[in-house]
Structure 1
């Protein structure tokens, strides 16, 4: 492990961007700008899901993010204490959540896109749940491993 850091925010959607900027800054020396975008988008989607769905939008709950910067990958764990997510939600859906007519507002799906974006942008995604916590692990490989 090159280095690691843990960050925490209250379950307030207004605080997610602050956390996303901090994680992006941590990844600057390790990932290309495109990969930084992918990590930032995935992080925002994952934390928004925790706050909206796990905590039902209620503030005052803890959302933790642990970032591990390794020589060949960035590992991000999002830890919460909400009700667990149904594990099958993380599996690849049979239908493409992005196949809709964007000119027909009524056809735009209301959910399912966040997890699809995370799967599309990250190299590995794992979800673990215990009686005390939920952990979503997202891994982005570093194109040029550090010496």
Structure 2
């Protein structure tokens, strides 16, 4: 079984929860609550990154989300037309981003946490960029039901 749906929003942070709820509803019958939370968090982080960093917080730009539901996985593509991400952002070591003292607010990293959270919560993460678009592909495998 392969089903897919495409959704789009304007680059407005107030609209991110709308698309997150829609994707969660699409996946609800396929996943446990913990995996639904992981997918929703990753999607919100990805779209927020596009709006805040790619589009510099400007509304009026498009953010597309394509969701593919397969028997063993959910594939989510977040597509935008912002300038591409710098390679060093993608290459940051996720583990080092979380090595800070929670009691010392000045030691909390400024950026990169969103991508690290996405990598932690999803089974596969891939970023592709061309002259016309950027595509962040996130895959969450569906646990086979225990009988």
What is the TM-score when the length of structure 2 is the normalising length? Answer: 0.94
Secondary structure of the residue that 2:120 maps to in structure 1? helix
Residue 108 (structure 2) aligns with: 108
Deviation at 1:92, TM superposition (A): 4.8
Secondary structure of the residue that 1:96 maps to in structure 2? helix
Matches of 2:25 and 2:128 in 1, distance apart?
A: 27
Residue 5 (structure 1) aligns with: 5
Residue 132 (structure 1) aligns with: 132
Residue 19 (structure 1) aligns with: 19
Residue 141 (structure 2) aligns with: 141
Deviation at 1:99, TM superposition (A): 1.1
RMSD between superposed Cα atoms in Å: 1.3
Runs (4+) of structure 1 exceeding 3 A deviation are: none
Matches of 2:21 and 2:61 in 1, distance apart?
A: 21
Cα deviation 1:87-146 (Å, max 9, x = unaligned): 34223517521111111111111111000000000000000111100000000000017x
Residue 59 (structure 1) aligns with: 59
Matches of 1:13 and 1:28 in 2, distance apart?
A: 24
Q: What runs of 5+ residues in structure 2 fail to find an aligned partner? A: none
Matches of 1:95 and 1:62 in 2, distance apart?
A: 32
Matches of 2:30 and 2:96 in 1, distance apart?
A: 31
How many residues get paired? Answer: 145
